[in-house]
Structure 1
């Protein structure tokens, strides 16, 4: 049990630190992230209460019992609910009706205050002392059901809401929900087993402690990683907006006419050379408008902008560059990443943040494409240039 107590204390402390970083740091503090911070702090409170209960603090100091008796598990899933709904930008988070989600924790606080005053201090308010055992059994069943129903509701909202953002954000929402759902089911199962086999309560409590400890560590690592990545991307974008990176090689600039005209939106067949009017327009979009920074850029979107068919666009790019459309676009992204890597102003930022701001949609695509283009991984390239 000493190891479990130590694990509880470490995990609770770690959670408080993580929550404080989110809630107090100007770099990470946003309305959305605040709910994540509140969630972690509440989970840390629960684990700290478990630690203090295991060492007999609540037995020694009866006046502190109310801190343990209030069922914070009514509030924790509400914070998670608001965090995920705001993260996926679902309109439901603006509904005033969601204030009703705070009713269970409000009832729990009021109930336990009355219980403490009546039982611990001997003041009769409602004079229902004989009913408390039934009331608290109902409360226990309620918080299990409340957590499960909120997790199911979140699943429905996530499935119905188009997740706008990069691949990393989508993975984070799904991973977070999946982890929370598994832990909720495990908690309900362990609670049910403990109810029927009281003599095994320390075993099942130990299992839950281990799982929660690793969960806090996981969310701590991934949360800090994601928040740092988001901060890096924001700052990189600000720098890129101030700088005018030129990806053209010296002595090889082309005069690009941005006002390419088409006749009745029909393709004008001409030679596949760099003088091709559509290729020159494409170069303008890439060199001067930096359209490759859009991770959702596609051949169809570019073809529509040029007023030609996707097939004809592929013919142009393949014939002139000896690359397919995706490879050609990615070559611009790689070139910009290379420029950022050698620029001292970007040295403090992670390579992934640089790659994502250059237009790559995921870490895997970024590293695979960069090595294919340069023969080195981004980290190897950075080391060689420093």
Structure 2
């Protein structure tokens, strides 16, 4: 199992490095992470095969990267997220680089000194600190993913392959794996170690497969937050708004002024946006973005996003999905569309997958499309 994990990790890691160079995908850091993550069991493999007994000079090989591996995954997530224009957290690599240098120095020490270090309390302290650092980086990664998902919901009407949910689950699984390793340090059980090894192999395969299939996320973050001079000023378009078009839901009018836009301005923005979407049926486009709506209405996307979040308490994804659900309800009631399956209805109104259609429909109607029909 250990050998399978190492070979699998080396193959997938090299594949991701090649994808980075050939297809301009940000998989360099993910490939390096998988390579380092998969090398962890080499010390155990050498010991179980009695290689260390024959060649004791190979004791403490520099293949443990507790401080280096997870920062590489963290930087990969930063590069693949919608915030890839921000400054990356390269500072998290510093402890790992120091760990690698120290590991190389220790590897070339006399055998007696290495054996003393291997069975000393320093080895356990090093492992515990490495585990703690990995968990801290994991928490930072999850926090980044949550912020990314919120931004994706404010930019795209379709979030499949963009929400990075798989990476969040991988971090949770990795923390579980690290805790199992720590438990194995205190309970020397073959059954427990087999389970640890199995989890390791599954994690390597999971993160490799998802990393290979993960598409580049075209970030709209910089456009969304660019200066408003690139769009027609709000005051110039406010007179053209067709106030006869109702909003999705009537917002409560607040007496106080918002810092960015007051409630009257937000209502006018939402009315114009709603008019444009209904007039062009743009919500039927499954890859619709907030930039598309901004270009159609000549309103800065930040104003649209702000009005949606503060007036309707909806992100862009839910805002568009409400139009799609309303259209789906029409088709589900219309006998002319009885020949279409539930999935077909979802595709007809702009949903990309059956699962997203069901999820959105249940969110707004509190029942499934099948039950509604």
TM-score w.r.t. length of structure 2:
0.56
1:77 aligns with 2:67: no
CA distance in 2, matches of 1:34, 1:302: 35
The 3-state SS of whatever aligns with 2:109 is helix
Q: Which residue of 1 aligns with 2:52?
A: 58
Counterpart of 1:46 (choices 40, 47, 51) is 40
Q: Distance in 2 between matches of 1:38 and 1:221?
A: 15
**Structure 2 residue corresponding to 1:143, chosen from 121, 125, 130:** 130
Question: What is the RMSD computed on CA atoms of the aligned residues?
Answer: 4.8
**1:265 maps onto 2:241 in alignment:** yes
Paired with 1:282 and 1:176, the residues of 2 have a C-alpha distance of 34
Q: How does 1:231-310 map to 2 (within 5 A)?
A: 264-266=240-242, 292=285, 294-296=287-289
Give 1 or 2 for the bigger CA radius of gyration.
1
1:144 positional shift: 0.9
Partner of 1:32: helix, strand, or coil?
coil
Give me the whole-angstrom Cα distance separating, in 1, the residues matched to 2:145 and 2:40.
27
Q: Which residue of 2 aligns with 1:382?
A: none
Q: How does 1:220-231 map to 2 (within 5 A)?
A: 220-227=208-215
Distance 2:291 2:25 in 1: 33
| Kept after mapping to 2: 8 A contact 1:291/1:297 | no
Q: Which runs of 5+ in 2 are unaligned?
A: 219-236, 246-275, 300-321, 329-346, 360-373
1:90–1:157: 8 Å Cα contact kept in structure 2?
A: no
Instruction: Summarize the Cα distance change of 1:364–1:60 in structure 2 as closer, same or farther, 3 Å threshold.
Output: same
Q: Describe the shift of the 1:101–1:58 C-alpha distance in structure 2 as closer, same or farther (beyond 3 A).
A: farther
- The answer as to whether partners of 2:60 and 2:114 remain within 8 angstroms in 1 is no
Aligned residue in 2 for 1:110: 101
List per-residue Cα deviations over 1:271-313 (Å, max 9, x = no partner). xxxxxxxxxx989967xx998354347999799579xxxxxxx
Cα distance 1:365–1:305, how it changes in 2: closer, same or farther (>3 A)?
Answer: farther
Deviations 1:301-351 (A, max 9, x none): 799579xxxxxxxxxxxxxxxxx9638989xxxxxxxxxxxxxxxxxxxxx
Task: Give 1:167's aligned residue.
Answer: 159
Point out 4+ residue stretches in structure 1 off by more than 6 angstroms. 127-132, 281-284, 297-303, 327-330
Question: Cα deviation per residue 1:219-241 (whole Å; 9 max; x = unaligned)?
Answer: 333333335xx69x9xxxxxxxx
Match status 1:181 vs 2:172: yes
Residue among 109, 115, 119 paired with 2:110: 119
Change (3 A) 1:362 1:10: same
Name the SS for the 1:13 alignment partner: helix
**1:206 aligns with one of 186, 194, 203:** 194
- Mapped partners of 1:83, 1:13: distance in 2: 22
What is the Cα deviation at residue 150 of structure 1? 0.8
For 1:262 and 1:188, locate their aligned partners in 2 and report how far apart those are by CA, in whole Å. Answer: 58
Q: Which structure has the highest helix share of the two?
A: 1
Secondary structure in structure 1 of the residue aligned to 2:82: coil
TM-score after normalising by structure 1: 0.54
| Cα distance change, pair 34–362 in 1 and its aligned pair in 2 (3 A) | farther
Change (3 A) 1:206 1:167: same
Q: Deviations over 1:169-198 (max 9, x none)?
A: 3443x332223223323422441x333333
The 1:35/1:360 distance shift into structure 2, 3 A limit, reads farther
1:155 deviates by 2.3
Report which stretch shifted further, 144-153 or 17-26.
17-26
Gaps of 5+ in 1: 1-6, 234-260, 270-280, 307-323, 331-354, 369-386
Q: Which residue of 1 aligns with 2:6?
A: 12
Kept in 2: contact 1:11–1:213 (CA 8 A): yes
> Would you say how many aligned residue pairs link Structure 1 and Structure 2?
271
Q: Which has the higher contact order (CA 8 A, sep 6+)?
A: 2
Deviation at 1:102, TM superposition (A): 2.5
Q: Is residue 22–residue 28 contact of structure 1 (8 Å, CA) maintained in 2?
A: no
